[in-house]
Every structure is written in structure tokens, then in C-alpha cells.
Chains A and B, each alone.
Chain A
Amino acid sequence: MDVVVCVKQVPDTEQPIRVRPDGGGVEEQGLNWILNYYDEHAVEEALRVREKHGGTVTVVCVGPARATEALRTALAMGADEAVHVQDPALDGADHLGVARVLAETIRQLRYDLVLCGRLATDDNASVVGPALAEYLGLPQATAISRLDISDGVAAVEREVEGGVEVLQVPLPAVFTVERTINEPRYPTLPGIMKAKRKEIRTLGLRDLGLEPGQVGAEAARVRYSRFDPPPRREAGRVVTPDSPEEGARLIAQFLQETAKVL
């Protein structure tokens, strides 16, 4: 079973993120870049598939030079190979553009299964996975919390409103994973050392037979025009009541008179 995992490098949200004064983006200085949280789960799931069924795990990333580190993290977890697509012509690409680039990259690889994270924690878009499935012409399931493969068919579960769907999906297919699917392993020291020595294949648009006009800023159907800090919440009231009864009364009064939900 050959598995391809799509990964993204994102800023760690543990740290403050500030909008640039000109509203044109976020302040990049001082950001700590990490492998997207959900992609860690996707890599982990791919490793488990390999452990059970044999085969290879290849991680693919579309992103600037610094994103190589995200691929190294995935290699350190145990992925076999890494492909990094970087091209200045991808500045201003939208998610559909990125999905097309991933699709063309994956077409050049051997795969029975493609995994992505449910979303990337920078922009939270959750667009790339299903768009990639479309461009590859494969069945999909999003936000899966369980994956079992036998005889070329995947049994997957996904949370829906009020329940859990159980689906049978013929492979190859594209799945995006929910965090509950597994507990990712930590890279081991030997794993990290080995990952440092591994070669990461770097490709540009031309290697994929793509033109900037097909996937870059020109092709984008949406573009970010500005970024703002969130609206400030009105400062509230914090009280230390004399008794639990008093605290309860204050809250109930608030619910009735201010929020009007009683």
C-alpha cells in the first residue's frame, strides 16, 4: 500500500499572531513554523497503514523554502520520501491552485491512498483535500476518525451532526483526517538524524507541466484583500460573590435581563 500524505507548514498558534499595520498580512517575524497539527495525524495514519500492509509513505508539500522543515519533521516521524514543490509563480495562488499542483505532483508518484489533514490551522480553509480528490478523479471522505483497509476497500468513519457515518470507499481515494483518528508518535533521535540526511526532491511548476497562468495568482478565483484584528470584546464585569447563591443569582439575572434568554 503506497500512501501519499499532503502536508503544510503553519505558524504555531501557541504564539501571538499579529496583523501587520498595513493590513496586508500577518507579522511573520518571530513566528515559529511547524508541521500542521492535523497533518501530523495524517502522517501517523500513513505510517500505521505501512506497518500493517507494507508499502511506502511519501510526503508532499507545496510551499516556500522554509516549508522544507515540515517535510523533515514528517521524515523524522518515519516517512520514506519527500517531495517539495516550490515556485515563485505560486505566490497568490488560491487553494484550488494549490490542489491542482498537488494533483499533478501525485500523478507522478505511486499511490493507493492519499491522506491530508482535515484543515490547516493557519487559514482553516479545509478546501485542498476535496479539491485534490476532484482533480485526481478519486472518491473522498473528509474528517475521518477511523480507517480500516482490506481487499482494496477502506472502511472509514466520519463525524456528522448528531452521529457517525460509516462508509466503504474503494481505493485509491483521498481522505482528510480528524485528530481523533490516532495519537501521533514523536520523532525519535535516530529518526531525526536519518531525516537530516534524506534527500528531498524539489520540483517547480515546469517539472509538473503546469503554467503559472493555470495555478498562480492569475488563476485564483479568490484573493485576500485585507486582514484585521478581531473586533475587541466589550470589557465585562468580573465579580467575586459573597456566596454561591449570590453568584448564581447574578448569572441568572444576567441571563434574564441582559442576554434575554430566559
Chain B
Amino acid sequence: MGSDVWVIADHAGGSPRRITLELLGKGRELADARGGRLVAVALGHPLDGLPRTLGEYGADAVLSVEHPHLRSYSTEAYTEVLSGIVRQRAPWLVMVPSTAWGRDCAPRLAARVGAGVVTDVEALWVQDGRLQARRPMYTRKVMGTVEYVGDGPHLAVVLPKVFAPAERREGRTADVEVVAVQVPEPRTRLVETRSLQRERVSLTEAEVVVSGGRGLRGPENFALLDALAAELGAAVGSSRPPVDSGWVPHDYEIGQTGKTVSPTVYIAVGISGAPQHLAGMSGSKYIVAINKDPNAPIFQVASLGVVGDLFQIVPKLTEEVRRLKAQG
């Protein structure tokens, strides 16, 4: 069996997305430990400068697969292409980003090639020669350790923001191999992708997340969070009640039935801290909470908790942040 570590790139407009860099960072370490190469796999049409950029981020080799049917993600085309090259080249580990397409594709790919697959991966390491993965379970009340059986290929669907991104070094190059593939016309047709028309930082990639709960009382008050987020370069999220009440769309939701985020700072505003909410954010490095109830459970996990009225504190905080930034 092989010893290479593969990273399936998530990319847009010819550039790797942040999660790809995180996978390359961790992949480098695992490939070195295993004595294999770090291989980035890029699927798309066109790929433009992407393969070269992946080399600058530390990939030893890049498999570049261009085909018109790979212009946008489709389960069938991706599974077909990836299973073909995985079977042919037998990597030890395939790292897939936990994105909408990664979660759609990886289990099917695993089933097709007969590989073990672990999703929601937050740690990967080798012990006694065997690959191990750690993942949250039961609304993050439990961390499970999973051991991969056999020699591979192993599939890991990795959550964003858990590994440090690889650094770019200009001039570093990878062996780029253009892989010719035949891709049958997928049975499923992508009619359109409706953009949500929101110019905001992506929730799962953001360094800072400002999140609002039922305490915000109405959709109009999310403007307070938008203003703060704009100063901080942060993404805006929410607990579940604002979604259920139709104040914000479902893609804001953080928690058991929403997204999992692990930003450097999570600012919970008017959120009580129910277990189902904590499930999606308690992996954050720092948690700041603003809540008028001194007994709110969120304060039990907060690095800094401020008891008070959000409607008074948040606008002042936005001003204060602006002032500090102006000071430089």
C-alpha cells in the first residue's frame, strides 16, 4: 500500500480556499511522518494557476484534472474521477474538506473504493503505526477516537479551522501532473446556484464570529451585530430561535442542527448557551458572552462574560473597537 497523503482541494476562481491550506498544513506533517509525498488533487474547469499555487503551499505533487463536467461539483463526476485515481495510485490517506461537496462526496467515494471514512475530524495522528482520528459526538459531550483498520486508503473529512494553514512560499514548486479522465455525463443536473447575495465572511472560516440569539428580539436588531462584525471583519451567526422565527436564514444557524464553528473568538450575544448551541461553538478558542442574566449557562463556558443589556453594550463595543482600530 501507498504512503502518500492526498488533499482534495476546495477552490474558487483559481485560488485555494482557506480549508485547503489547513489540510495541506496537516497533510505535510502526516506525509513526513509516514515517509510519503504530500499530493494535492485539483478538480475543475478551468483550474488556471491553482496547481502552481498548491505547490507554493507545500504540495510535493499536484494531480490536475480538468474536464467540462467538473466545472461545478457533481456527486457522480467527482466520485467517478476520484475513485479512478485513488484505485490506480493507492494513497495512504485522502483528506477531504468538510464542505457541502466534501460531505456529499467522501462517503460515496469510501463506499466505492472500500475505504474507511471518518467525518467531522478534528485531530489526526499515528499511533503504533495506525492512523487515528478524533471527532466530536453527542452534541460535543463526547470526543470519540476512531482507528482506521488496514493499510488504506483512509478517508478523513476534516472540519475547518482545526489545523494551522500551510504557509505560502513563492518559488516553491510541485510536480504538476495533468491527469486525463473520461467523465460520463452526470444523471443529476445542476440547474443553478442561487447566491445568497450577502457580502460577508464565511462563518466557518472567520477568525471572529458574532452570534445573536433570541435576546435580539427581532430581525432589525441583527443590524447591531452587522455593524460590530463589520468593524471586526467578523462573520455573523445565530442560535436557532432567530432562524425558526425567520429573522435570519438557516445558514446562520450554529449548533447541533446548524454549523460547527471554531473561530479564534466567538461572541455570543443574547444567547443562553443551551447544550445544542454549545455543540456548534464550544471548540472556539475564546468565547465572549453578553447576557443580562448572570446565571445564563453560556457564562460557564465563556472566557469573558459580561452581564448586561446587549442593546446598550453592543453599540458601545462597536464604537470602542472603531476607536482602538483608529489608534492602530
Instruction: For the complex, give the distance between the alpha carbons of A126 and B115 in Å.
Output: 16
Instruction: For the complex, give the distance between the alpha carbons of A180 and B108 in Å.
Output: 24
Residue contact B307 to A240, C-beta cutoff 8 Å: yes
Q: Tally A-B pairs: CB < 8 A.
A: 283
Is A124 on the interface with B (CB-CB < 8 A)? yes
Residue contact A259 to B188, C-beta cutoff 8 Å: no
**Chain A residues, Cβ within 8 Å of B189:** 167-169
* Binary per-residue interface labels of chain A (128-171) against chain B in the complex, 1 for a CB within 8 Å, 0 otherwise: 11110111000111110100000000010011111111111110
* Binary per-residue interface labels of chain A (156-196) against chain B in the complex, 1 for a CB within 8 Å, 0 otherwise: 00111111111111100100001110000000000000000
Given A221-B148, A236-B305, do A251 and B207 touch, yes or no (CB 8 Å)? Answer: no
> Looking at B110, B287, B307, which has the most chain A CB atoms within 10 Å of its CB?
B110
Residue contact B304 to A254, C-beta cutoff 8 Å: yes
Residue of A nearest to B149 (CB): A221
Taking CB atoms and an 8 Å cut-off, the chain B residues in 260-290 that contact chain A are 264-265, 267, 275-276, 279, 282, 285-288, 290
Categorize the interface residue count of chain A. Answer: 35 or more
Taking CB atoms and an 8 Å cut-off, the chain A residues in 5-27 that contact chain B are 11, 13-14, 16-19, 26
Given A134-B108, A223-B146, A228-B145, do A126 and B103 touch, yes or no (CB 8 Å)? Answer: yes
**Chain A residues, Cβ within 8 Å of B146:** 222-225
Residue contact B150 to A221, C-beta cutoff 8 Å: yes
Residue contact B110 to A127, C-beta cutoff 8 Å: yes
Q: Of B99, B190, B196, which contacts A167 at CB under 8 A? A: B190
Chain B nearest Cβ from A10, distance in angstroms: 9
**Chain A residues, Cβ within 8 Å of B106:** 130
Q: Main secondary structure on chain B at its contact with chain A?
A: mixed
**Chain B residues, Cβ within 8 Å of A178:** 250
Instruction: For the complex, give the distance between the alpha carbons of A125 and B144 in Å.
Output: 11
Chain B nearest Cβ from A91, distance in angstroms: 16
Residue contact B137 to A122, C-beta cutoff 8 Å: yes
Chain B nearest Cβ from A101, distance in angstroms: 13
**Chain B residues, Cβ within 8 Å of A130:** 75, 104-108, 111
Is A95 on the interface with B (CB-CB < 8 A)? yes
Residue contact B139 to A121, C-beta cutoff 8 Å: yes
Given A159-B251, A167-B190, do A222 and B118 touch, yes or no (CB 8 Å)? Answer: yes
Residue contact B138 to A142, C-beta cutoff 8 Å: no
Is B136 on the interface with A (CB-CB < 8 A)? yes
Residue contact A221 to B256, C-beta cutoff 8 Å: no
Instruction: For the complex, give the distance between the alpha carbons of A112 and B315 in Å.
Output: 54
Instruction: For the complex, give the distance between the alpha carbons of A233 and B313 in Å.
Output: 25
Residue contact B100 to A258, C-beta cutoff 8 Å: no
Q: A13-B139, A225-B145, A241-B308 are in contact. List 5 more A-B contacts (CB 8 A).
A: A122-B138, A123-B138, A139-B188, A165-B193, A221-B150
Task: Write 8 A-B pairs (CB below 8 A) sorted by A numbering.
Answer: A96-B111, A121-B139, A159-B251, A168-B191, A226-B144, A236-B303, A244-B316, A247-B306
